Every structure is written in C-alpha cells, then in structure tokens.
C-alpha cells in the first residue's frame, strides 16, 4: 500500500471541488477531519476494526505492545499513519504511540537503525 495514498486522495478531493462532484470529510473526535475516501480505504482493510478499540488507547503506564502487534500485521499501517496519525492526539495509530508520532514529526529527528 502506498504511504502517500492519503495525500493523493486529499489532492484529488481538492481538484473535485471545482467541478460538480463534492467530497465528503469525516470529523474525528478531538478535532480534525479526514477525506472520507481515505478513511474508508483504511477502515476496509484495517485489522484494528476487528478488535476492541480500547486496545489502541491504553491507560498511562499500560503497555502499547498489544496494539502495536496488531498494527505490525496490518496491511494498511502506512496509510493509517498518514491518514490518522496527524489527527489523533492519543493512542496507537499506524503502529506508533502518540509520543513516537510526535518525535517523528520533529525536524532533525533521530531514526532507529
């Protein structure tokens, strides 16, 4: 799955606004929106849709490993991270915790070898 798919869908959505077609956006809890096409593509193939969502929002001090294990087997992890990662402030998204996503967005970040 192409990790840039979410941005491609968003660009495609922007181009359709000038025509007769409309684009639907889905509001996310805590703010932010995502193009419905991108969200639908992630959700249709996402393994997280088949397990308890609470797994992805562990309480402080609880391990994130169970959620990350689901993400590691998921075919849309990169698309999920690109689509929802910037919009979800807490929990595991695309195999990364909120702290890991924040570190990834920082300029000059260190990457694991």
Q: Is the pTM of this model over 0.95?
A: no
Q: In this model, does residue 56 exceed pLDDT 90?
A: yes
- Tens digits of per-residue pLDDT, 63-83? 999 999 999 999 999 888 988
Q: In this model, does residue 8 exceed pLDDT 60?
A: no
Q: Give me the numbers of helices (H) and strands (E) for the chain, helices first please.
A: 5, 2
User: How far apart (Å, rounded) are the C-alpha atoms in residues 67 and 13?
Assistant: 31
């Amino acid at each position: 799955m192409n990790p840039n798919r979410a941005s491609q869908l968003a660009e495609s959505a922007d181009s359709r606004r000038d025509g007769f077609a409309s684009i639907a956006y889905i509001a996310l809890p805590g703010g932010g929106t995502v193009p419905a096409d991108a969200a639908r593509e992630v959700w249709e193939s996402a393994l997280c849709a088949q397990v308890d969502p609470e797994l992805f929002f562990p309480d402080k001090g609880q391990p994130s490993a169970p959620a990350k294990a689901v993400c590691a087997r998921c075919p849309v992890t990169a698309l999920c991270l690109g689509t929802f990662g910037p919009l979800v402030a807490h929990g595991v998204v695309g195999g990364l915790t909120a702290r890991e996503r924040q570190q990834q967005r920082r300029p000059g970040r260190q990457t694991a070898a």
